Amino acid sequence: MPDVPSIEELWFEHGERIRRAALMLCGNAWDADDLVQETFATIADSPRAFQGRSAVYTWMYGILLNLDRRRRRRASTHQRKVATLQEQPPATPGEAGPDAQAIAAEWKETLWSRVHELPERQRQTLVLRYSEDLKYEEIAEVLECPVGTVKSRIYHGLLALRRLLGEDSEHSPATDHQHHS
């Protein structure tokens, strides 16, 4: 069995990435912090569960996603309301004025709030790809599915997201494959 770093080492090396993923999955800091704490508690309780078939951080993402899945099942009757869609995305990424930055921040918030409306598998796949910047192969390891399935979930997730956003243009932020982290 491979050696697993101490919980402190895991926290310092991967804690920020795990929290960022938790924020994208949960949509708020309170639930994200609870999810991160539960993830690290699970790791601390069973460090031998790591079998070395993947990188340590992909194993940790797997734990995070499984715990998020359980959390969502428990909370399924308490769906939170999602922010309403603003008609216009930000003008151009090159504009750096305060108005453009505010619009970009609002658009990003709207985009990620819509991601939370997607089915679980699409949502998790999009978070790992566009928030965590994982490669298809790494996502496949985390989700324990073939790379083709990952690509399909991303494709269908982006289509569903585009429908949710009401985008008609060919070049929307949801379909340009830009990173939204």
Domain ranges of the chain: 7-74, 98-165
Query: Tell me, what DSSP letter sits at residue 127?
Result: I
Give the per-residue pLDDT at 14.
Answer: 93
Please name the fold of domain 7-74: Rna Polymerase Sigma Factor; Chain: A (1.10.1740)
Give the pLDDT of the chain (181 residues) as one tens digit per residue: 567 788 899 999 999 999 999 998 888 888 899 999 999 999 888 877 787 778 888 889 999 999 998 888 776 644 443 333 333 444 445 555 667 777 777 777 777 788 888 898 999 898 888 888 889 999 998 898 999 999 999 999 988 888 888 853 344 444 444 444 4
Contact of 25 with 35, CB cutoff 8 Å:
yes
- The two most distant CA atoms of the chain are separated, in Å, by 54
Report the 10 Å Cβ neighbour count for 18: 24
Distance of alpha carbon 54 from alpha carbon 166, whole angstroms: 38
Give the per-residue pLDDT at 52.
Answer: 74
CATH of span 98-165: 1.10.10.10
> How far, rounded to the nearest angstrom, does the alpha carbon of residue 54 sit from its chain's CA centroid?
19
Give the per-residue pLDDT at 51.
Answer: 76
